[in-house]
Chains A and B, each alone.
Chain A
Amino acid sequence: MRLMKTPKSIDIEITNRCNLRCRYCSHFSSPGDVDRDLPKEEWFRFFEELNRCAVMSVTLSGGEPFFREDLFEIIDGIVRNRMRFSILTNGTLITEDVARFLASTGRCDSVQVSIDGSIPTTHDSFRGEGNFRKAVEGIKHLQGHGVPVTVRVTIHRQNVMELEDIARFLLEEMGLPGFSTNSASYMGLCRKNAEQVQLTPEERSVAMETLLRLNRKYNGRISAAAGPLAEGRRWLMMERARREGKREIPGGGYLTGCGGVMTKIAVRADGVMVPCGQMAHIELGRINRDSLLDVWQGHPELNRIRQRRMVPLSSFDFCRGCEYINYCTGNCPALAYTIIGDEFHPSPDACLRAFLQKGGRLPDERILEA
């Protein structure tokens, strides 16, 4: 993947505040967590810089973006500066008025609402009483106004057996075009609640199998950039390559697992630029003080992260003797950092060999065939 001259999109944590305290949220224990928002004027100034840099889109996350009283003004600032936007939200604050406003901008690429169950009990067990109903209402408001809406399902120990119902609920009952999945990862609050949320190898095997099967049933309407569905696909490909004795597969053999840093950058709620929201400890500069272009093109730390893709897996003791070494990408650096404190290392959580050693199973390969 080639480096772009300026970032194509920016992930902005527009606030750290949130109306909920979900048990696996990565906030409230991460670097850059502040309880006061940056004033909107600071963001407006930064949006003007994004405009000059020809950035195409902004993804607003939090915290809960709709918790900011001036969010509409912030969005107007994005629109004024020739960009489109997406929002990641828990959905509970999306009223009819909010949906109408978003539709009126004509610039909303998507609103991604988190839904973790097919019934209130499952969703609310992690996100709090009453929030399932509110999130579903939020989605309906968005649908009613024609705002593109997607759902993100975070898979954890309490909902892993409910995936079938979740898919039916979202795709059939709610009539959503699709949803994406992830798993509660070893970050933020999840670190403290790991036993309750993180999947065991056995549960991970089940999740992988179920999601691959459901995705076939629903014609590819389930997507994933990380978590069991993404892993299932990649790992089956790696397993096949091993069996067939392939020399390599594209991207394999090196720490190529993160392409994000070639096309986008992130800003924390306190205005500090970071390579990605999940690598919030790597501070690259501050908005409206440091130039985005200088940071993007010249920051040594950012370039070091980009150079990860030159690091061969064969240089790690961790990977010595692994049969998958020419097919593996080492996965997400942020996860590697959280687990072992080093982003220049394969992520132990996404290690196929370790997964199998701990008793994990891969689904039957035929599940990939349509």
Chain B
Amino acid sequence: MSDDLKPIANPTVVLREEFDDWAILFDPDTGNAFGLNPTSVFIWKLLDGRHTIRDIINEVQKNFEEVPDDVEVHVNEFINDLIERGYAGYEWKQEG
């Protein structure tokens, strides 16, 4: 996957944050929900179609302590997982 792509969150999906900074993503169309840890919540909020995957990785490195060396792998995996679930996608750019 290219690091220049700018992923964007599915606007129908709801982020429900809790007091401990964990959260769940809730898809009202299916009723499915799944849990996010604080780092994943941080990433989710950057899926605004303006940040590339590279930008997101940089932000994670800047904002969290003890970021593992293979953070890129984790970020990519997480975003791929969201895309597979239909919770995120890439903006379709019209050519020309």
Contact = CB atoms under 8 A, between A and B. Distances in A.
Nearest to A83: B28
Interface string A1-36: 011111010000000000000000000000000000
A56 interface: yes
A6 B31 contact: no
B17 interface: yes
B75 interface: no
A106 B12 CA distance: 13
Nearest to B27: A82
Among B13, B19, B26, the one with the most A-chain Cβ atoms within 10 Å of its Cβ is: B26
B14 A106 contact: no
A56 B16 contact: yes
B70 interface: no
Nearest to A106: B29
A54 B14 contact: yes
Contact of A56 (B17, B18, B28): B28
Given A56-B26, A107-B28, A109-B31, A82 B16 contact: no
B15 interface: yes
A79 B29 CA distance: 9
A106 B15 CA distance: 20
A88 B38 CA distance: 37
Contacts of B28: 56, 79, 82-84, 107
Interface string B1-26: 00000000000111111110000001
Interface residues of B, number: 13
Contact of A5 (B13, B18, B26, B33): B18
A95 to B, nearest CB: 25
Contact of B16 (A6, A106, A107): A6
Contacts of B13: 82
B19 A3 contact: yes
B29 to A, nearest CB: 6
Contacts of A84: 28, 31
A147 to B, nearest CB: 14
A261 to B, nearest CB: 16
Contacts of A83: 28
A5 B19 CA distance: 6
Contacts of B14: 54, 56, 82
A106 B30 CA distance: 8
Contacts of A82: 12-14, 28
Interface in A71-127: 79, 82-84, 106-107, 109
A5 B17 contact: yes
A4 B23 CA distance: 11
A107 B17 contact: no
A83 B12 CA distance: 9
A3 B20 CA distance: 11
Nearest to A79: B28
Contacts of B15: 54
Contacts of A54: 14-17, 26
Chain B CB within 10 Å, residue with most, of A5, A6, A79, A109? A5
Contacts of A109: 31
A141 to B, nearest CB: 22
A106 B32 CA distance: 13
Contacts of B17: 5, 54
B18 A4 contact: yes
Nearest to B12: A82
